[in-house]
Structure 1
Amino acid sequence: MLKLNVKNETSRLRAVILGTAVNNGSVPKLEDCYDPKSREHVLSGTYPKEEDMILEMEAVAKVFNKYNVQVFRPTVILNCNQIFSRDIAFVIENKIIRANILPDREEEVKAIQHVWNQIEPEHRIILPEACHIEGGDIMPWNDYIFIGTYTGDDYPNFITARTNKEAVKAIQELFPNKKVKAFELRKSNTNAKENALHLDCCFQPLGKGKAILHKNGFLVEKEYNWLVDFFGKENIFEITKEEMYNMNSNVFSISEEVIISEQNFTRLNQWLRNEGFVVEEVPYAEIAKQEGLLRCSTLPLIRD
Structure 2
Amino acid sequence: MTALRRELVVLGAVLVLLVALVLVGLGVGEIPLTPVQVAGALVGHGDTVSDFVIGQLRGPRVAGALFVGAALGAAGGIVQSVVRNPIASPDVIGITSGASASGLTAIVLFGASGGVLFGSVVVGAVLVSVVIAALSWRRGITGNRVVLVGIGVAAICLSITGWMLTAGTVQQAGTALLWLSGSLNAVDRTLVGILAVAVVVLLAAALAQSRRLTVLALGDEVAAALGLRPDRAKVLLLLTAVGLTAGAVATAGPVAFVALMAAPIARRLVGNGRVALGVVAAVGAVVTLASDLVAQFAIPGNALPVGVVTGVVGAPYLLWLLARGR
Identify the TM-score tier after normalising by the shorter chain: under 0.3
TM-score (norm 1): 0.25
Give the strand-richer structure, 1 or 2. Answer: 1
TM-score (norm 2): 0.24
RCO higher in structure (CA 8 A, sep ≥6): 2
Give the helix-richer structure, 1 or 2. Answer: 2
